[in-house]
Structures are given as structure tokens and as C-alpha cells.
Amino acid sequence: MSIDDGGLGGRLRLYERAALDPGQREVFDWLTKVAVPWAESAKFRAGTDTGRLIGPFNPALLTPAISSAFLELAVTEQTNTSLSKRCREVIILSVGAVWRAPYELYAHCAVALQAGLPDKAVRTLADGGLPEDLTKDEAVAHRVARALSVEHRLDDALYREAEATLGPAGVMEAAVLTGIYHTVCAVLNAFEIPAPA
């Protein structure tokens, strides 16, 4: 049903398409068609040279109905947000830093650089810090994601600042994106999925 591929599955083996049931194959095919090329364009790996999926994409095959719905949410957020690409990556890296999820940080450091964040800012975010060279929107987004990830709430002052800077819809979008990446990081850490060497 599966094959080991250099430990890239963490606690899981990497699943072969031929051994999957129809629901799992549907998720596999979508990820191979959409996620793998997206990752390649961002300069990180979502699959192996042998055609298996890595990162959060391999465990997604275990629960095709849940994974399909989750992927739909993630795509809907990404294509319907008012947050800039840079702002989104600030949030994603802020969450990944709290979770210390190696694959998430590996992947989204690459995406953040592609989105135009400076290398030093990307490294600082991945280490859990607040870079000095973020825009006001980006700095507020970082603080929102960090507060929701660590304190699990926004105090009144931060909420008012976020509402004034991002707007109420932007606060909602930042909260949803934070939640999406909590799920991604929880999956990655549950299965101890590493970043590729």
C-alpha cells in the first residue's frame, strides 16, 4: 500500500497512487495537478522524483472527504482574500514559527521570498520574530497571527488596531488563514513530517 521514501513521510510511509482507493486517488490527482506544480513554481518540493506526495499532502490521502473539504477552504481563502500575498505569508510564517513545523517553514519561506518579502524578514519571521521592514499591514497581521496562535485571542487594543488597519473583513481573513495553518501545522507535527534535505 505504501513505500518508504527517505523518511520524507515522517511517521507515515509515502503512499503509491496504485494502492489508493478511488476517493484517495481523486485527492492524489488533484494535489498532483495543482499543489505539486504550485510548489515547484515557488521553489519547494511537494512530491518526490518517484511521484509520491510529501509534506501535508501525503497524510491528506488518509481522509479524502475531510481533505477535499479542507483543500476547498484553503483555495477559497487564497482566491477570495483582501490580504496581499506578502501579508498572507507573514501570517503563515508566524503560525509556522509558533508550531516549529519544519516542512511548513521550509515551504513558506520559499513562497514568502517569491511574494517579495526580503530574505532577512523571512528568516526573522521563521524564527518567531517581528522584522523591522514590514509594512504596517504586515506588522499588524503578524501580531494578530501570533496573538491568536499563542494567547488564542486578541486583546481590545490589538483588535482595534487590526480593524483600523485591515478592516473587519481583513481581521476575519487573517483569523481564518491563521486557523488553516494551525491545521496544516498540527498535521505536520502529528506525523513528524520533515523538510526535505
Mean local confidence (pLDDT), 51-78: 98
The proportion of the chain whose per-residue pLDDT surpasses 90, expressed as a percent, equals 96
Q: Which residue in 108, 106, 109, 116 sits closest to 86, CA to CA?
A: 116
Query: What is the predicted pLDDT for the residue at 109?
Result: 99
- Give 6 or 69, the one with higher predicted confidence: 69
Query: What is the predicted pLDDT for the residue at 135?
Result: 98
Q: Is the pLDDT of residue 17 over 90?
A: yes
Query: What is the predicted pLDDT for the residue at 180?
Result: 99
Where exactly are the structural domains of the chain?
Answer: 2-78, 83-187
Which distant-in-sequence residues (6+ apart) come within 8 Å of 70 by Cβ? 60, 180, 183
Note the CATH number of domain 83-187.
Answer: 1.20.1290.10
